[in-house]
Chains A and B, each alone.
Chain A
Amino acid sequence: MKKLINGVDNVVDEMLRGMAAAHPEYVERVEGTDVMIRTGAKKTDKVVLISGGGSGHEPAHGGFVGKGMLDGAVAGAVFTSPTPDQVYEAIKATECGKGALLIIKNYTGDVMNFEMAADMASDEDIEVDKVIVADDVAVENSTWTTGRRGIAGTIFVHKIAGAKAEEGASLAEVKAVAEKVIANVRSMGMGIEPCTVPAVGKPGFELEDDEVEIGIGIHGEPGTHKEKISTAAATVDQMLGKILAEGIYGKGDKVAVMVNGMGATPLSELYICNLEVSKILADKGIIVAKTLVGNFMTSLEMAGFSITLLKLDDELETLLNAPADTPAFTQF
């Protein structure tokens, strides 16, 4: 294993300290915790948004703490959901009387830990609600499984619910718009090289030189199947095909697109993939109102990417285009 670290046990702590040192104007760390909050939190007088999960997805989630997006982000160990006490600390450090919305990615551990934190906050009479993002179409949605995973589509929830909260909306209103995003967002990912959790020391799955893993999540875990590598166009065609088969996105619909790198994919390749996405959507008469290309929800040094589509109505489009100012996402 080759990594630029000082020891496998210090990865999360030093990453957070480095982040706080880089962006003091945006974020500060709640002392004694692995929680990043907006600098000067508690002065916001609005519904607060808390998200988080295992580390290794940077810039998610700490990079999206700031005006127009999150108020607090909780970092667990690498690829391991944070514990309830840490989530509770994030709520306590930010909530200012208007309530808190927890944005949870649909993993068994994340859901359990965040729900326990919500129970702790409710016991202290803090108003807390939650939404669970489950945008990954690689996983069949069935009552017999844990349900779909939450992956890169979560960033659109941060952005749009964050903009709504910034407008001064109530907790119920912020939750409703977050649910609307969740209902209209779908993603799918693939990997061409696996990643290695520092404390494990070896990759989460193995691939031959000419093999790729389709339908990966964001934790270095294996996907739905392996196959021989093909062109970017054919790969995008397969993945986008699965998203479009959901039947949500039709001719004349407006969408936002995210082509998200998994950590070690050159931007050039992401743009090549986006070219194919834009061609296919144009062919189908689907209107692309906004495109994000870059590393938003990564999986350490995995090479690969995910595609996310979000169907927009006027409200979602306005909120998506509203200003945001965070370490990893800024628009005016």
Chain B
Amino acid sequence: MSSKIYDCIELIGNRIIENKEFLTELDREIGDADHGINMARGFTEVLNVLDKDSEDIGALLKKTGMTLLSKVGGASGPLYGTAYMQAGKVCAGKTELSAEDGKEIFEAVIAGIQKRGKAEKGEKTMLDAIIPAYESYSTAIENGVSAEEALGIMCVAAEDGVEFTKTIIATKGRASYLGERSIGHQDPGATSATITMEAIRDFVKG
């Protein structure tokens, strides 16, 4: 029997690996065609090195972040690496998470990504999925919605965020070199972030 947190990370990893070609194709259109390949390489290694039995959520998330940082490269490596390490910090010593913890994780992840990537919402990046997802999730939690329902609401906002990235010009990352030619294409980073959130939703739903 593996721990719950391991199972959750495993589901995220498998979803990313399954979407390797889809993410790479999105990146081929507006970037340099490596997002899926790099993320899949990173999560393959994550699933190799994680301690399946550990229930220490903070430790597993931190290890995930460190592994992504040293295996992914490109912009995604530092950004996802930072995101998981920041999440790990919030969860240090924890073996289970509340809906409220979810909000704190979001805040730490967003702050970490913004510090490393120096991006804001509306620049056609992963933040265009993550920030609206956070806002919808927080509002839902504050209104007393169950964690499971809040995660559903979160994913709808993330998916809308991905759609929104099709309508805007990239001003960060390699897609920014395309200027107006980036319009009409969805952002690969926002897409992989949404795949991650959907995996978390599906894991909690069981």
Q: Which residues of A contact B (CB under 8 A)?
A: 54, 76-86, 107-109, 112-113, 116, 138-140, 144-146, 149, 197, 199-200, 202, 204, 217, 219-222, 224
Contact = CB atoms under 8 A, between A and B. Distances in A.
Contact of B74 (A109, A146, A222): A109
Given A200-B33, A204-B32, A221 B171 contact: no
B179 interface: yes
Contact of B177 (A81, A85, A149, A200): A149
Interface string B159-191: 000000000000111101111010000000000
A187 to B, nearest CB: 14
Given A79-B34, A220-B33, A112 B79 contact: yes
Given A81-B75, A200-B24, 13 more contacts: A78-B34, A83-B71, A83-B72, A109-B77, A112-B116, A112-B117, A145-B177, A146-B174, A146-B176, A149-B177, A200-B28, A204-B32, A224-B177
Q: Interface residues of A: mostly helix, strand, loop or mixed?
A: loop
A112 B32 contact: no
B28 A83 contact: no
Contacts of B78: 84, 109, 112-113, 116
Contacts of A145: 171-172, 176-177
A224 B33 CA distance: 17
Question: Which 4 A-B residue pairs are closest in the complex by CB-CB distance?
Answer: A109-B75, A109-B74, A112-B78, A80-B73
Chain A CB within 10 Å, residue with most, of B31, B38, B75: B75
- The size class of the interface chain B forms with chain A is 20 to 34
A197 B176 contact: no
Nearest to A202: B28
A328 B32 CA distance: 26
B139 interface: no
Nearest to A85: B70
A109 B38 CA distance: 12
B33 A139 contact: no
A146 B172 contact: yes
B34 A108 contact: no
A210 to B, nearest CB: 20
B174 A80 contact: no
A58 to B, nearest CB: 17
A139 B177 contact: yes
Contact of B73 (A113, A138, A200, A221): A113
Interface of B: 24, 28, 31-34, 37-38, 41, 69-79, 116-117, 171-174, 176-179, 181
A217 B177 contact: yes
Contacts of A224: 177-179
A74 B67 CA distance: 18
Contacts of B172: 108, 145-146
Chain B CB within 10 Å, residue with most, of A54, A145, A224: A145
A149 B70 CA distance: 24
B59 to A, nearest CB: 19
Contacts of B171: 144-146
Contacts of A222: 178, 181
Nearest to A78: B34
A81 B74 contact: yes
7 contacts: A77-B73, A112-B77, A145-B171, A146-B172, A204-B33, A219-B32, A221-B174
Contacts of B178: 222, 224
A107 B178 CA distance: 14
Contacts of B73: 54, 76-77, 80-83, 109, 113
A116 B179 CA distance: 28
A77 B72 CA distance: 9
